[in-house]
Every structure is written in C-alpha cells, then in structure tokens.
Amino acid sequence: MYIGKKAFENCISLNRINFPESLCSIDNEAFLNCNSLERVIFSNKSILYRIGTKAFKDCVKLETIDFPEYLFYVGKQAFSTCVNLHFVSFSEESNTHIESRAFEFCLRLEKVKISSKIIDNAEKDSFYACNFNFKMRVSSFNEYGYRVLNFFELEDKGFIFL
C-alpha cells in the first residue's frame, strides 16, 4: 500500500493519521500544507521504507514523529517548516538516509533520537536552520557525520538522545 503524490495536499480537516502496518511508501507532497495535522502514528510493525520529497512540508501543527524501524529514506524537505515539531525519533536499528533539508526550519525541534548509522547516511544540511539549544550524544561519527551535526554540541558516546 502507498499514498500517492499530493493525495492529501491542503487537506485542512486532517488532524491525526494512524498509518496501517501495510503502508510501504508516502509519495512526494502527499500531505503538503495540511495545516491542522498534529499527530502521525506508524504501527510498530510498519513496513514503511520511504517518505518522499515535501511529503509533510508546511504541516505547521505537527508535533512529534516516531519513525518505524524499516524506514530507509526521508526525502528533501519532507518535514520542512513543520514549525511546531519538537520531537523526532528514529529506530536504533534503522539505516535511514536523510536527504538535504529534510527537517529545515523546524524551529521548535528540541529532542532528536537518532543512531550514528543514520548520521553517517544523512546529507550535511538535513537539519538546516533548526534552533537547537541542547546537547546531543553520538556513539561514533565520521567526518561527514560531524558536518551533519556541526551545529550541535557533541558529547561522550552513546545513542543520540535528549
């Protein structure tokens, strides 16, 4: 099962989504500008592997995202200008590639849970123009991974979590 391009674009009455575990892909701009969307819930057994470009861009009320384990790809600007997004969590087991500016201008982003594997696969400006005011921990990072998080204060070792 997949959600097609622009399927729910500008759907102002949508405020919560419970995705079934059979969902495997969310196409580009599927939920673009859904101004009332506050919560997105993925099943624990979800097989979702792809979130397309601008899929949730401008969902200004979206507050938290807890990504499923098998997520492989988050597209460019997928969550751009989700200005109330304050918590993002990736499974420790996942190996997700995060494209350029996927979380740009998420101005209230306070907590990010992410593995070093994902950081190694992320574009350098994945979290562009986020107002981070906290410390994060990372277990290991290469030079490229450091550039991804060059605006964070890196500490000790361990899974990135705050």
Predicted confidence (pLDDT) at residue 128 exceeds the cutoff of 60: yes
Q: What pLDDT, on a 0 to 100 scale, did the predictor assign at position 16?
A: 95
- Looking up residue 29, the CATH number of its domain turns out to be 3.80.10.10
Whether 30 and 50 have beta carbons less than 8 Å apart is answered as: no
- Rounded to 5 degrees, φ, ψ at 98 are -105, 120
Give the span between the Cα atoms of 142 and 36, in whole angstroms: 39
Predicted confidence (pLDDT) at residue 158 exceeds the cutoff of 60: no
- Residue 55 belongs to domain spanning: 1-162
Three-state DSSP class for residue 98: strand
Strands across the sheet with 39-42, in order? Answer: 16-19, 39-42, 64-66, 87-89, 111-113
Whole-prediction pTM value?
Answer: 0.84
> How many domains is the chain partitioned into structurally?
1
